Amino acid sequence: MRDAGIMNDAAYSKLPIGCFPRENSLSAWASAKLAKRVEELHPAYFALVMATGIVSTGCYLFKLKDLAFILFAVNILAYFSLCLLYAIRAIVFQSRFTEDWSSHKRAFGFFTVIAATNVLGTQINLLFHNWQLAEVLFWIGLVLWLVTTYGIFVLLIVKKDKPSIETGINGGWLVSVVATESICVLGCQINPHFLTGDVLALFNLSFWLFGGMLYIWLISLIVYRYMFFSFEPTDLIPPYWINMGAMAITTLAGCELGKTFEAVEPVCQIMPFVKGLTTMYWATASWWIPMLFALGVWRHGVKRLKFSYDPLYWGLVFPLGMYSVCTLKLSILLNIPVLSNLARVFIVIGLIAWLVTFLSMAKRPLFACLFFVSTAWRSSQHQYNQKKENP
């Protein structure tokens, strides 16, 4: 339940200026507005860090280093700001925070915290060659993965009241695959110092294979929902692009696995299998792109659904950046240089998508500030006129 003392936006918009006679009224309004935002903060907001991190990584790989470091600075600020907001929400709005863990629509958003942590670790390792700090983030991500994976799946299994598959499942469920594969990606890049080479290879191989298996389980349910239930434009939420993004990061994990452990047991024995399965994952990701684009045209072009900022749109930016990076890595693994040209195209598309989404996000607090200043000015003018009329 929402706090009774917090009024919604529509209620405040209908209040006349005379309802703000005291100087602290606007402060109370701003506090209530901020509290409402924190209370309703979506668990998937860490997709902002995922998207910014992978686009930064792609820029670095394509020698756009200045841009990569700028995006890294944005990402550091976003990561710690969201950590603070999540902590405040968990403490102040504990009931809402707890409810999200057993919500079929929102629970899988918590997996973005794991993926964001590992993507940030990849950035730190790549841009600054600081594997020690990256390893710290790896361990944090692994612990979060254990808690989130077994916590959410168990809670949803034992939950008494469950929605139908039509309303209960969406593409956001596949963020669990992204989180799983992000453990493998960072684990291959930094080689955590806790296991011998062959055991470490088996550890990363297991995460890669399990992530692929989890994708098969979940995408089967999602496609079933696509084909046999009514599908409205509002049902096509941005995280459906994770259909492609989950396969893209699984491709990247396979490439990193082959690169790092090519001569290490047991990976060396199954390298043809690793390359073949990685290529299959990339082909699947590629297949999804025109399908999702066509559905997007249907949603916004044919059905005229207006575009407005939603934090879930970061779940659209991430797959575009990840597809660029995984395609570049696959071109190296398979020794097919022409694929790097496709990767260049998608890093540009990813940058454009990131910029549009970021500006849409930045516009909201800007408008809020302008509204606050405008309201304060009108309130002061109203009080001034009242004093003038009634000295």
Residue whose tokens read 């973005």: 112
* pLDDT at site 198: 86
Q: Is residue 38 part of a domain?
A: no
Buried b (16+ CB within 10 A) or exposed e, 99-118: ebebbbebbbbbbbbbbbbb
* pLDDT at site 270: 95
* pLDDT at site 8: 45
* pLDDT at site 376: 52
* pLDDT at site 278: 97
* pLDDT at site 384: 53
Q: Which amino acid is at 86?
A: Y
Total residue length of the chain: 391
Find the domain containing 70 and state its range. 47-386
Q: Is residue 231 part of a domain?
A: yes
* pLDDT at site 26: 59
Q: Is residue 211 part of a domain?
A: yes
Residue whose tokens read 């209530």: 32
Check which CATH number belongs to the domain holding 170 and give it. 1.50.10.150
* pLDDT at site 19: 44
The stretches of the chain forming alpha helices (DSSP H) are 9-13, 25-39, 47-61, 65-92, 94-101, 111-128, 131-158, 165-168, 175-190, 197-228, 242-260, 271-297, 314-333, 339-389
The token duo for 6 is 């917090």
* pLDDT at site 313: 87
Q: Which amino acid is at 367?
A: F
* pLDDT at site 21: 42
* pLDDT at site 328: 97
Q: Which of 299, 312, 300, 204 is nearest to 255 (CA)?
A: 204
Q: Is residue 34 part of a domain?
A: no
Q: Is the distance from CB of 286 to CB of 266 less than 8 angstroms?
A: no
Cβ-proximal residues to 145 (8 Å cutoff; 6+ apart), any chain: 114, 179, 180, 183
* pLDDT at site 9: 45
Q: Which of 107, 111, 112 is nearest to 96 (CA)?
A: 107
Q: Is residue 265 part of a domain?
A: yes
Q: Is residue 32 part of a domain?
A: no
The token duo for 15 is 């209040």
Q: Is residue 161 part of a domain?
A: yes
- Give how many domains the chain has, as a whole number: 1
Q: Is the distance from CB of 172 to CB of 312 less than 8 angstroms?
A: yes
131: number of Cβ within 10 Å: 17
Q: Is residue 138 part of a domain?
A: yes
CA 112 to CA 117: how far, in whole Å? 8
Q: Which residues of the chain have pLDDT under 50?
A: 1-23, 366-368, 370-372
DSSP code at position 161: S
301: number of Cβ within 10 Å: 10
CA 333 to CA 344: how far, in whole Å? 17
